Amino acid sequence: QCSARIPEARAVLDLLEQCPEHQKKGEFPVIVLEGLDATGKTTVAGSVKDVLNAVLLRSPPPCISQWRAIFDDEPPPIRRAFYAAGNYILASEIARASTQAPVIIDRYWHSTAAYTIATEIKGKVQDLPPAHDEVYQWPEDLLKPDLVLLLTVDPEERARRLRHRGLEKTKEEAELETNSLFRQRVEESYRRMENPACQEVDASPSKEETVETVLRLIKHHCGL
Angle between helix 171-178 and 180-192 (nearest 10) = 110
For the stretch 183-224, pLDDT in tens is 899 999 999 999 999 999 999 888 999 999 999 999 999 987
Predicted confidence band at 168 (pLDDT cuts at 50, 70, 90)? low
Range of the domain at 113: 2-222
> How far apart are the two ends of the chain, measured CA to CA in Å?
45
Looking at residue 141, which CATH number applies to its domain? 3.40.50.300
How far is Cα of residue 177 from the mean position of the Cα atoms in its chain? 18
Strand pairing category for 103-106 and 147-152: unpaired
Nearest to 157 by CA among 198, 82, 112, 210: 210
Provide the sign of the torsion angle of the four alpha carbons 32, 34, 40, 41, taken in this order.
positive
For the stretch 77-108, pLDDT in tens is 899 999 999 999 999 999 999 999 999 999 99
At residue 198, φ and ψ (nearest 5 deg) are -90, 130
Domain count, the chain: 1
pLDDT for position 180: 81
Q: What's the count of helices (H) and strands (E) in the chain, helices before strands? A: 10, 5
d(CA 38, CA 81): 24
Q: Which amino acid is at 35?
A: G
pTM for this prediction = 0.88
d(CA 194, CA 144): 11
How many C-beta atoms lie closer than 10 Å to residue 35's C-beta? Answer: 27
d(CA 213, CA 12): 37
pLDDT for position 92: 95
How far is Cα of residue 60 from the mean position of the Cα atoms in its chain? 9
For the stretch 173-185, pLDDT in tens is 666 655 788 889 9
d(CA 33, CA 35): 7
Q: Which amino acid is at 185?
A: R
Could you give the C-alpha distances from 198 to 5, 92, 123, in angstroms and in order? 37, 22, 23
